[in-house]
Amino acid sequence: MKYAVGIDVGGTNTRVALINEKYEIKERVQFGSDPKNPIKTLNQINDVIKGFGEKIEGIGISCPGPLDLINGIILTPPNLPGWHNFELTKELEKITGISVQLENDANLAGLAETVIGAGKGKKIVEFLTISTGVGAGLCIDGQIYRGAKGFAQEVANCILWKNGPSQGDLKKGSIESIASGTAITKRANDAGLEAAHAGEVYQLAQEGNETAAMIMEDAYEYLSSFIATLYGVLDPELFVLSGSVALKIPGFIEEIEKRAKEKVYDALKSNVKIVPAALGEDCCSICRRISAALGPAARCFSASSNCSVSFFISSLRNCSKAASLLPSSSSSPFFCSTSS
């Protein structure tokens, strides 16, 4: 039996999983990430891999963007300040002695929705998650679109508001600094309100708090403008929204869709179709944080077999919301037929 390792590094936690060639998760270990010291985290990863006690064919790893996927470099993720411009694949290969592949988490979450979720059967699907941050993935003909240098869909730093709010290393007025859950909460607390998350800001707005209402209005207005722009650039068949902000705030997606329709050509209004992630907020979290890390590991089993989707789907079997959407057999046409 052959084995690969899938890893997801987040600003808070790192998850490491052992996968066999049947794309079954055999073991999974989680520990706290060190956002300031990547080598410390990589050494902990190496200790976990050694503890598995198996010969490892390869490693697939995901991290928050922006990423240089071609060269395996973490660029400037806001929640990993000590990892900026870190040569992740090179350093992890040096420590473990095992081949490493890097992938963006939102790309594979978008792939999930395209293959078995809300975008199933659609040619062009744009995925956007509005949660702690803002992440995106574009799938065309069932394949992730990465662009010329692997930076496609790194949307968090897209500027919409001149001299607008900012957070971390993001530029002023970036979409993540306006519409993410972190941004909504930060702006509310900076204004003297007390809110633990974006849902509480929304609730304050519903109760008549003008400051909270203004913050929510900014999120609706700028996010809908951003999505309307993407419609003009990409012309997707479907736009899928995920993440805690999009899925847990009542009426959020409906409001975004209504406003986006008002911002495109009249002849294109009927083309604007924005829907919630079919796999649900919890399952999409699994997609991004576990499957996104493990998907690249599947390619470690065979350089000629593009089976990352089949591994990705097998990991989804751990989620009850996705179970009814999955084929009962790996002979399904989309197994091993889609490159990622």
Task: Count CB-CB contacts under 10 A for residue 265.
Answer: 10
DSSP 8-class letter at 155: -
- Boundaries of every domain in the chain: 3-107+281-323, 118-277
Decide if 3-107+281-323 and 118-277 have a common fold.
yes
Q: Phi and psi at residue 146, in whole multiples of 5°?
A: -110, -10
Q: Is the pLDDT of residue 164 over 90?
A: yes
Is the CATH number of domain 3-107+281-323 1.10.287.610?
no
Q: pLDDT of 62-74, one tens digit each?
A: 887 788 888 899 9
Q: pLDDT of 6-27, one tens digit each?
A: 888 887 889 898 888 776 778 9
What integer is the mean pLDDT of 146-153?
87
The span from the CA of 162 to the CA of 149, in Å, is 28
Task: Count CB-CB contacts under 10 A for residue 210.
Answer: 9
What integer is the mean pLDDT of 141-164?
91
Q: From residue 175, how far is each of 127, 135, 155, 182, 280 by CA, in Å?
A: 15, 10, 8, 12, 23
The span from the CA of 334 to the CA of 338, in Å, is 6
The span from the CA of 49 to the CA of 46, in Å, is 5
The span from the CA of 199 to the CA of 205, in Å, is 10
Q: Fill in the amino acid letter for 232.
A: G
Cβ atoms of 325 and 278 within 8 Å: the answer is: yes
pTM: 0.75
Q: Helices 88-96 and 38-52 sit at what angle, rounded to 10 degrees?
A: 40
Residues in the chain: 340
Q: How far is CA 272 from the centre of its chain?
A: 22
Residue 314 confidence (pLDDT)? 38
What integer is the mean pLDDT of 79-83?
89
Cβ-proximal residues to 333 (8 Å cutoff; 6+ apart), any chain = none
DSSP string, 78-100: TT-GGGTTB-HHHHHHHHH-S-E
The span from the CA of 331 to the CA of 136, in Å, is 29
Q: Which fold has domain 118-277?
A: Nucleotidyltransferase; domain 5 (3.30.420)
Q: Helices 181-190 and 198-206 sit at what angle, rounded to 10 degrees?
A: 60
